[in-house]
Amino acid sequence: MKRFSGLRILAEGLTGNAGWRPHWRDAAPAEAYDIVIVGGGGHGLATAYHLAETYGEARIAVVEKGWIGGGNVGRNTTVVRANYLLPANQRFYALSLRMWERFEQELNYNAMVSQRGILNLYHSDGQRDAYIRRGNAIRFSGADAEHLDRAALERMWPFFDYDNARFPIRGGLWQPRGGTVRHDAVAWGYARAASARGVDIVQNCEVTGFDIQGGRIAGLRTSRGAIGAGRVGICVAGHSSRVMEMAGMNLPVESHVLQAFVSEGLKPCIPGVIGFGAGHFYISQSDKGGLVFGGDLDGYNSYAQRGNLPMVEHVCAGGMALMPMIGRARLLRMWGGVMDMTMDGSPIIDRTPVEGLFFNGGWCYGGFKATPASGLVFAHLIATGTPHEAAADFRLDRFARGHLIDEAGSGPQPNLH
C-alpha cells in the first residue's frame, strides 16, 4: 500500500497522475478462511481491519452482497457524536468518538473528519433540566458537553425561530467534539487498510446459508460457492433478521425504513450539526453545500429502501419550525435505508448459540458514528471469545434478563426508539 501524502499528490500531479492504483484488492473467495465477516459495510470492514491490525489474526475475508460502500455506510447522514445518557451506551460512543479523532492518521486516509460540533436544542424548563443531567452524564464519561443559554445561541445561530409560538427555543446542549465524517471515505479507508493487511474483500458475494455441524459453524454457502470458516462474524445491518434466520435465530429486531434528504447546494450558512428538541429533525451542511437532514422512521416494518411522502412532509415541517430560512431551498434528493431496530433501541454485539458464530447488529439508526468502536469491540469478541469492556452490556440475552438499555424509555416498541 502506497501512503498518501501531500508530497505524493505533488509528485503525481507532475507526472500526469499515472501512478494512482485501486485502493483495495477485489479478491476472489478462497476455499476456506480462519475468519469470515459477512457484510462489507463500515462495521464489517472495521472489524476485519482490527482483527488483522489490533488482534494479529490472519486468513480473514469480508464477503459483501453488493459493492463496498453501497449499503447503509453510504446512505447515512454522516453525523458522529457521543451524547448518550445511559452509561452502557455512553461508554461505548465516547470510545468511538476518540477513535474518530485519530481515524485519518491511523488509516492514512482523508475522511474529512469535521469536528464542527453538535447542538441539541431544548424548548421547556423540564427539557432543560433533562439536558443538563445528560450533559453531566456525558462529562462523567470523559466526553464533552456544554450548556448554552439563548443569548449564547443567538450569537452563533441567529437564524433560529427563537420565539416560535409553539416551540420557543430556550437553549441547548453543545458538544464541540461532535461533527461529521465523509461516510464513503470511511468504507474506502477501512477497505484499503484491511486489504493492505491481507484481508480478502469479496464483493458481489451473497450468503445463502450457513454450514453448521454439531452446533459449530463450519462455513458459509454463498452465491460464489461454499467458503469454509472457523469463525464467522455477522455485520449486515438492516438484514440482520434475514441472515440470522438462516442460523435458526429469531432476533429482537424489526427492520424499518428511515429517510434522509439533501437540498441543493448553498453557500455556507449552517454551523455545526443541529438537532431540534420539539420534534425529530436534525440538519447539517455538507462541504459541497447541500443541507443534509433527517427525522423519524416511517414507522412500519420495511425492507423497501424507500419511504412514503407523509414523512417527507413531517420532517420538512420540523425544519421549518426550527429555521424558516430553509423554506426556499429546494430538495435535491432523498432516499431510504433499512434499519435493524432493536426492542430497546441499543445494539447487540455478542456470541450466538452456534459456536463460532458472532453477531453484531441492531444499530437502529445510529450505526455510522459507532463504526470505529464497533469494529474494535467486535474484533475483540471474535479474537478472544470475550466481550470488550466497552461493549460488555450489549448482550443478546439482556432482553430475557430484563437488563434493557432503553435510552428513549419507550419499551419494546421499535418504531418509537
Binding site for another protein (CB under 8 A): 239, 241-242, 245, 250-255, 299-304, 308, 310, 343, 399-400, 412-415
Tell me the Ramachandran region of residue 355: left when phi exceeds 0, alpha when psi lies from -120 to 50, beta otherwise. beta
- Which one-letter DSSP state was computed for residue 72? G
Q: Which amino acid is at 19?
A: G
Q: In the bound complex, what is the minimum distance in angstroms from residue 412's beta carbon to another protein?
A: 5
Which of 335/399 has CB closer to another protein?
399
Identify which of 94, 343, 357 has the alpha carbon closest to the alpha carbon of residue 235.
357
Angle at 399 between CA 382 and CA 384, to 5 degrees: 15
Q: In the bound complex, what is the minimum distance in angstroms from residue 75's beta carbon to another protein?
A: 17
Task: Report the distance separating Cα 271 and Cα 274, nearest Å.
Answer: 8
* SS3 state at 377: helix
Which of 59/280 has CB closer to another protein?
280
Q: In the bound complex, what is the minimum distance in angstroms from residue 196's beta carbon to another protein?
A: 35
Give the phi and the psi of residue 127 in degrees, each rounded to 5: -65, -35
- Segment 104-110 long-range contacts (CB within 8 Å, at least 24 positions apart): 104/189, 107/49, 107/189, 107/190, 107/192, 107/193, 108/3, 108/4, 108/193, 109/4, 109/185, 109/188, 109/189, 109/192, 109/193, 110/4, 110/185
Q: In the bound complex, what is the minimum distance in angstroms from residue 210's beta carbon to another protein?
A: 18
Which of 176/299 has CB closer to another protein?
299
Which of 29/252 has CB closer to another protein?
252
Q: In the bound complex, what is the minimum distance in angstroms from residue 250's beta carbon to another protein?
A: 4
* SS3 state at 212: strand
Q: In the bound complex, what is the minimum distance in angstroms from residue 1's beta carbon to another protein?
A: 38
* SS3 state at 19: coil
Question: Is the distance from CB of 336 to CB of 381 less than 8 angstroms?
Answer: no
Q: In the bound complex, what is the minimum distance in angstroms from residue 304's beta carbon to another protein?
A: 6
Tell me the Ramachandran region of residue 204: left when phi exceeds 0, alpha when psi lies from -120 to 50, beta otherwise. left
Task: Report the distance separating Cα 334 and Cα 293, nearest Å.
Answer: 10
Q: In the bound complex, what is the minimum distance in angstroms from residue 74's beta carbon to another protein?
A: 21
Which of 79/396 has CB closer to another protein?
396
Which of 197/239 has CB closer to another protein?
239
Which of 238/272 has CB closer to another protein?
238
Task: Report the distance separating Cα 376 and Cα 369, nearest Å.
Answer: 13
Task: Report the distance separating Cα 19 and Cα 21, nearest Å.
Answer: 6
228 burial (CB, 10 Å; 0-12 / 13-18 / 19+) is middle
Which of 165/309 has CB closer to another protein?
309
Q: In the bound complex, what is the minimum distance in angstroms from residue 242's beta carbon to another protein?
A: 6
Q: In the bound complex, what is the minimum distance in angstroms from residue 223's beta carbon to another protein?
A: 17
Which of 286/415 has CB closer to another protein?
415
Which of 50/256 has CB closer to another protein?
256
